[in-house]
Every structure is written in structure tokens, then in C-alpha cells.
């Protein structure tokens, strides 16, 4: 599936989780379009290895970032400098119950809270947009703002993943609402990769779940390069704020990028505001732009 992106020379992108899968292919395509791409990776060694395999007219830069650890997020934000586009891509899926360094359930910490904090910390240095990478799984999610850490519910790994992906979509909508209210020219866009054959199902801790996930993605899924296209479109094309892109065929599992819908819960403005307030409390960060 060939695609030609607008030229990105002179523009600086941050892609979290850029050492493998969709994140790596996003970085590769952006460098191919002339961009300066910061590969923000938990492992510097893996980031450097990934960067060594990227060629093109742009350039790469590797920086350490563990989005599940708020101290790492703060350190990264303090040093990264000005950024045109932030692509919040890093994620985990279906992992056994565990807590982050900050005591937050790991799916929520990695997929939502770290990116929430990173975005807030970089808002005054962003020039163009924030891209939030979601998932089809958000449609099956329920989100209890008062029980984000599963202390009152029985933990289910894939339900926790789906909840974190619903949080992504609520964050996207509320971020754009706040940007608009502040009179900012920044925009927030979203994307999901459909069913893409990556290694995200490889850390479930359950052999059958890992095998079924890998088999399913291999059977109907797209390549990581194809799965990266919605993120690339959301990051580079002139689409309105709060646009959400995904594949156009097979119930959004594969195909070319197009604007797609989202669940009723993802469109709930009250739920989005409540999640935002709780995320502020958990992360110690807040929206830094004021209304005009």
C-alpha cells in the first residue's frame, strides 16, 4: 500500500514507542518525508538499533522515555525542546495486573496517563498538533473514573486495555475542546491501526492469549507499515481537530485510512471532563493554556 506524505522538512516530531511496530513505521515514513524525528523509547539500546535501520532525507534522534513512569515523562519533557507534532503511540496490551512506578494500573499508566502528562508538559512548546493513538477495543470498554485501578472490580487484562483505549478517545475530545476554548491554533487528532501484526500481544503472560492474538493479527491484520498510515495521516494531513482516523474495511480492521466513528461513551463530554480531572490528580499536571 503506497502512500506519499506531504514533505515534512524543517519539522520536528516526537513518536513515543518508536522502536518497534506501528511507532517504528511511523518514524520511518516521517524521516522519509524529510522530518526530524525523536524516537522516544523506554530502552535506549532498542531505540538506537531501530534508528540505525531508518534512512531518508530527514534525521533521527533517540531519547529515553518510559511513559509509564511520570518521573521519566517529566525528565523527557524538560529536555526535549520545541516540537511541531507529538505522536502518543506507545502502549501495552493484555498484560497481567501490575502497577507502575507511580502506583497506577499499568495499562492506564502507559496508554493514557503518561501521554496525558507528556502532552500537558509540552503544550507551550508544540507548534502544530497532538496525535492520540487509540484502538477498536475502545468500543468494548466501560470506564469507571472512581475505579481506574480496578480495586473494586475483578481485574481482566483485556478489559483494562480497552478501558485505557477509551481513555485515549476521551482525552482526545477533551483536549481539543480545551484548545478551542483557549483560542489555540494547536489541534488534537486521533488514529487507530485496526488489526495490525505487531508484537503488542507478546507480553500477556499467558501463552494461549499471546498465541491467539498473534495468530489473529497474522490472519486478518495488516503489516505495521500499513497500520501506521492512520497515524501518519493524522500527523501530517490538514484534518480538523478531534478527527479520528482508522482503516475503512472489515469493521475497521484493515484498509485505507478514513474518518471513523467512536463509541457513545467516547463521545460523553461529562465523562471526558471527569477523566481529565482525575488524570490531573494522578499525574500532577494540568492544561497550561489560558482562554484569550
SS3 231: helix
Q: Which of 155, 161, 233, 244 is catalytic?
A: 161
DSSP state of 237: S
Q: Is the dihedral of CA 17, 230, 210, 137 positive or negative?
A: positive
Our answer to whether residue 233 is catalytic in this structure is no
Cα–Cα distance measured from residue 179 to residue 45, given in angstroms and rounded to the nearest whole number: 36
Collect all residues with Cβ–Cβ distance below 8 Å to 241 and sequence separation of at least 6. 129, 176, 179, 180, 187, 188, 189
Cα–Cα distance measured from residue 227 to residue 63, given in angstroms and rounded to the nearest whole number: 24
Cα–Cα distance measured from residue 261 to residue 247, given in angstroms and rounded to the nearest whole number: 11
Beta strands in 65-135 (DSSP E): 83-88, 126-133
Residues marked active site are found at 161
Amino acid at each position: 500500500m503506497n502512500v506519499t506524505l506531504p514533505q515534512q522538512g524543517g519539522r520536528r516530531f516526537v513518536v513515543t514507542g518508536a522502536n518497534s511496530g506501528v511507532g517504528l513505521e511511523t518514524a520511518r515514513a516521517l524521516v522519509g518525508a524529510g522530518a526530524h524525528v525523536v524516537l522516544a523509547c523506554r530502552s535506549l539500546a532498542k531505540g538506537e538499533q531501530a534508528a540505525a535501520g531508518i534512512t531518508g532525507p530527514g534525521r533521527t534522534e533517540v531519547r529515553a522515555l518510559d511513559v509509564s513512569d511520570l518521573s521519566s515523562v517529566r525528565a523527557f519533557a524538560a529536555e526535549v525542546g520545541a516540537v511541531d507534532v507529538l505522536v502518543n503511540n506507545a502502549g501495552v496490551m493484555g498484560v497481567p495486573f501490575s502497577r507502575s512506578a507511580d502506583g497506577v494500573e499499568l495499562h492506564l499508566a502507559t496508554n493514557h496517563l503518561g501521554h496525558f502528562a507528556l502532552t500537558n508538559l509540552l503544550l507551550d512548546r508544540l507548534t502544530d498538533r497532538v496525535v492520540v493513538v487509540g484502538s477498536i477495543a475502545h468500543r468494548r470498554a466501560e470506564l469507571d473514573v472512581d475505579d481506574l485501578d480496578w480495586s473494586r472490580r475483578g481485574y481482566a487484562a483485556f478489559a483494562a486495555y480497552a478501558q485505557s483505549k477509551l481513555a485515549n478517545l476521551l482525552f482526545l475530545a477533551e483536549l481539543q475542546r480545551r484548545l478551542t476554548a483557549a483560542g489555540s491554533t494547536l489541534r488534537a487528532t486521533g488514529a487507530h491501526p485496526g488489526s495490525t501484526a505487531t508484537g503488542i500481544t507478546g507480553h500477556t503472560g499467558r501463552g494461549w492469549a499471546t498465541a491467539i492474538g498473534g495468530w489473529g493479527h497474522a490472519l486478518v491484520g495488516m503489516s505495521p507499515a500499513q497500520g501506521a498510515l492512520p497515524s501518519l495521516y493524522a500527523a501530517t494531513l490538514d484534518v480538523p481537530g478531534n478527527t479520528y482516523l482508522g482503516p475503512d474495511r472489515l469493521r475497521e480492521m484493515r484498509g485505507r485510512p478514513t474518518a471513523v466513528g467512536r463509541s457513545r461513551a467516547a463521545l460523553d463530554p461529562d465523562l471526558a471532563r471527569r477523566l481529565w480531572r482525575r488524570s490531573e490528580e494522578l499525574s500532577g499536571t494540568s492544561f497550561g493554556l489560558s482562554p484569550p
